[in-house]
């Protein structure tokens, strides 16, 4: 029995050796890579989510203004302020565009107010004053939301740099 105990002690010493220097360096390298890449991926994911939310909010508000005008029989305005970077249905809450995104608008001259707000007027008959709203990513790619003056329909098209 004493020989078995002696062998098990020798065997235990062999397994208690730990990690080699190469194994430790590989682990540190992998950790450094992960720590370096995570912020980049998070930044891109955040910018992409902000872009999608902004496009969805603008498209929803434009369509809601059209539906409201047709349902209530009263003109309804979708308004944009390029100085404050905000948009929304007039009389409702305004959506503020996040910083990395750029907003451009083309609307009829008579629809521009002295307070900096421009608007697209939706009529009860289904028509509109027409116009477009561009939402661009920092890369220059984005979307144009265009309102047809005759039908009042809101269409979406991709734009690139």
Q: Is the pLDDT of residue 4 over 60?
A: no
Tokens of 40: 């980049």
The pLDDT value recorded for residue 2 is: 57
Q: Is the pLDDT of residue 64 over 80?
A: yes
CA atoms within 13 Å, Cβ hemisphere of 126: 3
120 membership: H or E segment, kind and range = strand 117-122
Sheet of strand 86-89, all strands in order from the earlier edge strand to the far edge: 95-96, 86-89, 76-81, 117-122
Lowest mean pLDDT among 1-10, 84-93, 105-114: 1-10
| Domain range annotation of the chain | 19-159
The pLDDT value recorded for residue 94 is: 94
**Domain 19-159: which topology?**
minor pseudopilin epsh fold (3.55.40)
The pLDDT value recorded for residue 14 is: 52
Q: Is the pLDDT of residue 38 over 70?
A: yes
Q: Is the pLDDT of residue 13 over 90?
A: no
**Pairwise CA distance, residues 37 & 62, whole Å:** 38
**Pairwise CA distance, residues 24 & 79, whole Å:** 59
**How many helices and strands, by DSSP H and E, does the chain display?**
2, 8
Mean pLDDT (whole number) for 114-139: 92
Question: 56 or 115: whose pLDDT is higher?
Answer: 56
- The C-alpha torsion from 113 through 63 and 54 to 44, rounded to 10°, is -150
The pLDDT value recorded for residue 160 is: 77
Angle (CA) 31-37-39 rounded to 5° is 115
Quote the pTM value. Answer: 0.73
Q: Is the pLDDT of residue 6 over 80?
A: no
- From residue 67, alpha-carbon distances to 79, 146, 159 in Å are 15, 16, 26
* pLDDT band for position 115 (cuts 50, 70, 90): confident
- Per-chain mean pLDDT for the chain: 87
């Amino acid at each position: 029995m004493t020989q078995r105990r002696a062998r098990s002690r020798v065997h235990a010493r062999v397994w208690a050796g730990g990690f080699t220097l190469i194994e430790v360096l590989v682990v540190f390298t992998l950790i450094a890579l992960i720590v370096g890449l995570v912020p980049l991926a998070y930044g891109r994911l955040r910018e992409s989510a902000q872009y999608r939310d902004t496009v969805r909010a603008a498209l929803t508000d434009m369509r809601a203004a059209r539906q409201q005008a047709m349902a209530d029989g009263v003109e309804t305005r979708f308004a944009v302020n390029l100085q404050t970077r905000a948009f929304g249905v007039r009389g409702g809450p305004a959506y503020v565009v996040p910083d990395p995104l750029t907003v451009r608008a083309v609307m009829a001259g008579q629809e521009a107010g002295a307070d900096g707000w421009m608007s697209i007027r939706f009529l009860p008959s289904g028509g509109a004053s027409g116009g477009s709203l561009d939402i661009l990513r920092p890369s220059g790619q984005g979307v144009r939301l265009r309102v047809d003056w005759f039908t009042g329909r809101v269409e979406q098209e991709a734009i690139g740099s």
